[in-house]
Amino acid sequence: MDKAAFESFFDEVVSRPLLGRGFVRCGKSLFAEIHGVQIGWVRGGGRFASSGSVAHCVCFRHAFLRDKESRIPVKPPGFPEQYPWVFDLELLPASTHKDWRFDAARLMNLPYGQYTFEGLAGATVRDDLNSRLAAFLRYADWALSLTASDAVAQLRGFAEDYWIARHWLEDYAGRADTPI
């Protein structure tokens, strides 16, 4: 399969259904804010790109969190390093919510998964994209269900060594519904 055919399949299998659920396109990535949760399917380019494949990760954040520049974004940020929860999209189908924990190391080395479509049949690519979309929707459901208290519990273990964890813990502490 060539890149043009892959992009056509991606639009049909992934983009259209997500756009129908309120996601918006930012380049080749897709983002949404749903009930105070910002979530994204991020497609990497530049150093992440290679011929015959696509690099991508998933990410989410509570909308009230500040970004790394200490601003509260008015729309979902277009870069995964602005999200506390970042995960390799290629690992998503075989993973569960127990794997989707905050890990500050992922922000230092963004976990882009590589999917190679070159040489694959269209039916295989369609099945693979459907599998990833289903996993992404499970991830989105989990993100919507993660309480502020659970988020704090995940961040707390990183606060001593990572300023960004402290930064986001301060944001959660400012919320009346979050026991710290």
pLDDT of residue 175: 77
Are 57 and 111 in contact by the 8 Å Cβ rule? The answer is yes
Per-residue confidence band for 79, with pLDDT thresholds at 50, 70 and 90: very high
Please report whether residue 162 resides in a domain. no
Please report whether residue 128 resides in a domain. yes
Nearest to 61 by CA among 133, 156, 146: 146
Please report whether residue 167 resides in a domain. no
Please report whether residue 154 resides in a domain. no
Q: Which residues of 45-66 are buried (b: 16+ CB within 10 A; e: fewer)?
A: eeebeeeebbbbbbbbbbeebb
Please report whether residue 107 resides in a domain. yes
Please report whether residue 180 resides in a domain. no
Q: Confirm whether pTM is higher than 0.85.
A: yes
3-state secondary structure of 167: helix
pLDDT of residue 180: 47
Q: Which domain holds residue 107?
A: 3-146
pLDDT of residue 47: 67
* Measured distance CA(3)–CA(103) in Å, rounded: 33
Please report whether residue 178 resides in a domain. no
Please report whether residue 153 resides in a domain. no
pLDDT tens per residue, range 25-42: 999 999 999 999 999 999
Domains contained in the chain, number = 1
Average pLDDT over residues 32-57: 90
pLDDT tens per residue, range 123-178: 999 999 999 999 999 999 999 999 999 999 999 999 999 999 999 999 999 875 65
